[in-house]
Amino acid sequence: MQKIFYPDSVAVIGVSERPSNLAAEILRNLSRFGYSGDVYAVGPRQGTVEGTPILPSVEALPSVVDLAVILTPAATVPGLLDACGRRGIRRAVIESGGFAEYSADGRRLEEEVEEVARRWGIRFVGPNCISVINLENGLCLPFARLDARGAKTGPVSVLAQSGGVSITYFILLSEAGLGANKLVSMGNKADLDEVAYLSYLFEDPGTEIICLYLESIENGRELLETASHSTKPVIVQKANRSEASAEIAFSHTAALANDDAVVDAALRQAGVARAESFDDAVALAQGLSLPPVRGEDLLIISRSGGHAVVAADAAAAHGFRLMRIPESFAERVRELFRADVIAPTNPLDLGAIFNFELYGQIVEQSLRTLEPDAILLIHTYSPGPESAVSEKLARRLGQLTAEVERPLALCAFAQHEQIENLRRETPLPVFTEIEAAVRALAASRERHNRATRLRPLPSKPDERPEKVHALVADTGVLTTDRSLDLCASFGIPCAELAVVEDEESALVAAHVLGYPVALKGLTSEATHKSQAGLLALDLESAEDLRVSFDRIARALEREKSDAEPLRLMVQSMVTDGREVLIGGKRDPSFGPVVAFGLGGTAVEAVQDVVFRMAPIDHGEARRMMDEIRARHLLSRGRGHQPIDRETIVRALVSMSDLLITCPEVVEVEVNPFTAMEDGGAAIDARALVAGQRA
C-alpha cells in the first residue's frame, strides 16, 4: 500500500494531446501539486503533455514504475493491466468507468481485471474512481482539475465511495483550516476495499483522523472491529439510507442498502462518529482533533447573550451540563472584570468587556482552576482593529489549550475573510456554527466514553447442547413451543407450558399448571395467532378450556399444513409485569444483532427499539435499557409494582449467546418477555432458521 501513496515513479496510461483528454489532467495535477517523482505518459498517439512525452506503450517505459494510473475505455483495461504485469509493475490505479457499476458486460470485464491482477500479484485501486490524492508528496491523481493554491495539508485522511465526494471533502477540509492528508475515491473496490485502506491509514504517521464516505457497508463487522482497535478517531458518513437512494447506488457503485437503524447502532457501539452531511463530517473532524472531552461539564463563554442562549440549547440537546461556577472563581473573575456589568454565570457573558486581552486571561483562569471537561468560546468581532486582537487571542488560546491538554472549541462569527485570517493564525479549529461546535465536542465525549474494543466473533461456535442441534436442524419458522425451547436452552426463563395433542391431555396439563391458563395452537404457518383464532387467554376453568380447545383445534386444522400434527400448548398465565421485546437478527453486514424495546404492538409502531452487535455483556445490556425513549417504564410493571430489571439484562445477554452459538438462526424474537417483581418469563417467541424465509 505504501507504494500506492508514496510511489517514486508514476506512469499515466491513456494520455493524448486532445484538449478533452482527461488523463492529461492527471499529469497537470501532478505538476500543480508539486509531485517530485518520475512521471511517464503512455498513449496511442505521439505528443507531449505538461512537458512529458507520450510513449506508445507500457513496454516502451524506460524502467519499471511503482504505480500505473489507467484511464482508458473499460474494454482496453484488462489488456493494459496485463502489459503492466509483464513489465513488472505491481501497483495500479484504475480510474476508467464502465465496469460492474454499468452493465453485465462491465461486470465480466471487472472479473477479467481481477483475474489479470491475481495472475501478476497486482494490487489496485478502483475501477470507476477518481482515485488518490496524497498532499504530503503532491501525488494528485484525479482526472478533475484541482487547485493546489487552496489546498491545506493536515491530519485528516478520507476514504470515499464516490469521486465527487472525495473532492468535496478535500475542499471543505482545506477551507476549514484543518487540512487533508490522503484522499481515496475507492470506486468499485474490486481489489482494495475500505478495510484494507483503513488498516493502512491506522499505521500511516501523517493520518490522525479518518473520514469514510460509504454508500454500502458489505463487511461492517470487520470494518468496525478494525476501527475499534485503533486510537485514531473514525468518522463515517453513510449515505444511501432509503430505498429510493438504494436504486441509484446500485447503478452508481453497485451498493446495497443496510438497515439504517442497525448501521447507527453499530457505529456508535464501535465508537465511530456518524456524520449527517459533508459539513457535519468536517465539524466532527475538527472536534476530534482537539484533546478528548472526558465528561459532561461544559463552560460556555460568549460576547453575545443571544449566542449564549443558542449554545445552551445545543449543550442541553447534546447531553452537556453547564457547570456551576463556584463563588471563589466568581471573586477572581470580578477582580479582573468590572463587576457591575458581568454576572459570573455559565454561560459567561463577556458582552460588556471590550479588552480582548482579558478574554485570554479568563479562559486561562477557567481552564486552570475550574477544569471544565470542555470550553466553548463564542467570539463575535468586527472588521478593523478587533480582527488583529482576535487573531492574537486565537494564537494565545492555541498555545494555552495545547499546554493544558483540555479541549476548547472556538466558534467565531465574523466576515468570511476575517475567519480565513483567524484560521491562518491558530492551530485551533475555528467553528462557524454553534450547533456544529457543540456536536463536535459531544462526539469527542462519546468516543472517549465508549473506548471499548469490539470483540471478534468466534470463528467456530461454542459447544452446544444436543437439544439445540435438534431444534435448529430444520430450516424455516419454528413453532412457538420450539422457539421458546431454543430460548430456554440459553437460559432465558419461559412461562411454564405443556404441549398437548388432545383435550384430555390439555385438561391434565392445566390442572398441573393451575388455572388460569392460556391455550395456543401451534403451527409454522400462521403469523398472527390472535387473528387466526389460535389463541385463548385467561381460561379460568376446565369448562372454559374445553370450549376453547374445540375452537382452536378447528382453527388449527384450517391454518396448519397437512404435514404438521395437531399440537396445542397450555401455558401458565403471567400478568401484571412489564412486557418487553428481546430479539435478535443476523444482519448481512454487521452479523448477529440484539434488539431491545417495549413489548406490544403500540411500541413497535413507534419504533422505540435499540440494537447492539453481539456479543454483549451485562453492562451493555443495561445501557440498551437506558436508551429507549420509554425507559422510565422499565422500573415498574403495569400494576405499578417494581420489576426485576436484572432479569431483562440476563435475558438480553442470553439472546446474544444464542445468536453467537447458533449461526443457523436468522431471526429470533421474544415478545412479550414479561419482567415481574422477581424474575421474568418469555410468553411468546418466534425463530427463523437458516435459508428460506417465512
DSSP designation for 635:
G
**Which residue lies nearer to a copy of itself by CB, 347 or 680?**
347
Q: Where are the beta strands (DSSP E) in 288-389?
A: 297-302, 321-322, 348-349, 374-380
Does residue 345 touch a copy of itself according to CB under 8 A?
A: yes
**Which residue lies nearer to a copy of itself by CB, 34 or 305?**
305
Angle between helix 77-86 and helix 104-120 axes, rounded to 10 deg: 0
| 366-385 binders of a copy of itself (CB under 8 A) | 380, 382-384
Stretch that binds a copy of itself, among 62-70, 218-226, 312-320, 445-453 (CB under 8 A): 312-320
Residue 466 grid coordinates: 444436543
**Which residue lies nearer to a copy of itself by CB, 385 or 491?**
385
* Residue of 53, 79, 88, 306 that binds a copy of itself (CB under 8 A): 306
How many residues contact a copy of itself, by CB under 8 A? Answer: 91
Rounded CA-CA distance 487/685 in Å is 8
| 499-518 binders of a copy of itself (CB under 8 A) | none
3-state SS, residue 175: helix
**Which residue lies nearer to a copy of itself by CB, 118 or 145?**
145
DSSP designation for 228:
H
CB of 248 to a copy of itself, least distance (A): 6
Q: Are 221 and 446 in contact, with CB atoms under 8 Å apart?
A: no
Rounded CA-CA distance 516/542 in Å is 10
Among 160, 258, 277, which Cα is nearest to 217's?
A: 258
3-state SS, residue 151: coil
| Count of residues in the chain | 694
Does residue 460 touch a copy of itself according to CB under 8 A?
A: no
Stretch that binds a copy of itself, among 83-91, 402-410, 634-642, 647-655 (CB under 8 A): 634-642
CB of 570 to a copy of itself, least distance (A): 23
Does residue 543 touch a copy of itself according to CB under 8 A?
A: no
**Which residue lies nearer to a copy of itself by CB, 160 or 552?**
160
Residue type for position 477: V
Letter string b/e over residues 319-358, b meaning 16 or more CB atoms within 10 A of that residue's CB = ebebbebeeeebebbeeebeeeebebebbbbbeebeebeb
* Residue of 150, 514, 619, 691 that binds a copy of itself (CB under 8 A): 150
* Residue of 219, 304, 421, 475 that binds a copy of itself (CB under 8 A): 304
Per-residue binder mask for a copy of itself (CB under 8 A), 263-282, x = binder: -------------xxxx---
Letter string b/e over residues 373-394, b meaning 16 or more CB atoms within 10 A of that residue's CB = bbbbbbbbbeeeebbebbbebb
| SS3 track for 499-532 | EECCHHHHHHHHHHHCCCEEEEECCCCCCCCCCC
Rounded CA-CA distance 630/618 in Å is 20
Does residue 527 touch a copy of itself according to CB under 8 A?
A: no
Stretch that binds a copy of itself, among 107-115, 343-351, 365-373, 684-692 (CB under 8 A): 343-351
* Residue of 17, 105, 354, 694 that binds a copy of itself (CB under 8 A): 354
Evaluate the CA torsion angle 110, 112, 114, 116 in order and state its sign: negative
CB of 429 to a copy of itself, least distance (A): 17
Residue 51 grid coordinates: 512537458
Q: What does the DSSP assignment read for 39-97? A: EEEE-SS--EETTEEEES-GGG-SS--SEEEE-S-GGGHHHHHHHHHHTT--EEEE---
* Residue of 313, 357, 501, 504 that binds a copy of itself (CB under 8 A): 313
Q: Which residues pair with residue 609 across a beta bridge? A: 597
Does residue 136 touch a copy of itself according to CB under 8 A?
A: no
**Which residue lies nearer to a copy of itself by CB, 147 or 617?**
147
* Residue of 121, 463, 632, 678 that binds a copy of itself (CB under 8 A): 632
Q: Cell numbers 397437512 correspond to what residue?
A: 562
Does residue 303 touch a copy of itself according to CB under 8 A?
A: yes
Among 180, 178, 182, which Cα is nearest to 197's?
A: 182
CB of 167 to a copy of itself, least distance (A): 7
| 407-446 binders of a copy of itself (CB under 8 A) | 413-417, 433-435
Residue 477 φ/ψ region, left for φ over 0, alpha for ψ in the -120 to 50 degree band, beta for the rest: beta
CB of 146 to a copy of itself, least distance (A): 7
CB of 334 to a copy of itself, least distance (A): 16
Q: What are the angstrom distances between the C-alpha of 317 and each of 284, 311, 322, 438, 629? A: 16, 10, 12, 9, 15
* Residue of 66, 222, 296, 349 that binds a copy of itself (CB under 8 A): 349
Does residue 245 touch a copy of itself according to CB under 8 A?
A: yes
3-state SS, residue 583: strand
* Residue of 2, 251, 399, 452 that binds a copy of itself (CB under 8 A): 251
Per-residue binder mask for a copy of itself (CB under 8 A), 156-185, x = binder: ----xxxxxx-xx--x---x----------
| 42-71 binders of a copy of itself (CB under 8 A) | none
**Which residue lies nearer to a copy of itself by CB, 65 or 156?**
156
**Which residue lies nearer to a copy of itself by CB, 323 or 616?**
323
**Which residue lies nearer to a copy of itself by CB, 604 or 646?**
604
Q: Are 197 and 4 in contact, with CB atoms under 8 Å apart?
A: no
Does residue 559 touch a copy of itself according to CB under 8 A?
A: no
Does residue 213 touch a copy of itself according to CB under 8 A?
A: yes
CB of 666 to a copy of itself, least distance (A): 25
**Which residue lies nearer to a copy of itself by CB, 488 or 537?**
537
Q: Is the peptide bond before 291 cis (omega within 30 degrees of 0)?
A: no
**Which residue lies nearer to a copy of itself by CB, 162 or 647?**
162
**Which residue lies nearer to a copy of itself by CB, 432 or 505?**
432
| 578-617 binders of a copy of itself (CB under 8 A) | 598, 600-603, 605-608
Stretch that binds a copy of itself, among 351-359, 456-464, 610-618, 664-672 (CB under 8 A): 351-359
Does residue 640 touch a copy of itself according to CB under 8 A?
A: yes
DSSP H stretches of helix in 176-294: 194-203, 220-228, 243-253, 260-269, 278-288
Q: Cell numbers 457573558 correspond to what residue?
A: 349
CB of 15 to a copy of itself, least distance (A): 17
* Residue of 256, 261, 309, 330 that binds a copy of itself (CB under 8 A): 309
Stretch that binds a copy of itself, among 287-295, 440-448, 467-475, 525-533 (CB under 8 A): 525-533
Terminal Cα distance for the chain, rounded: 45
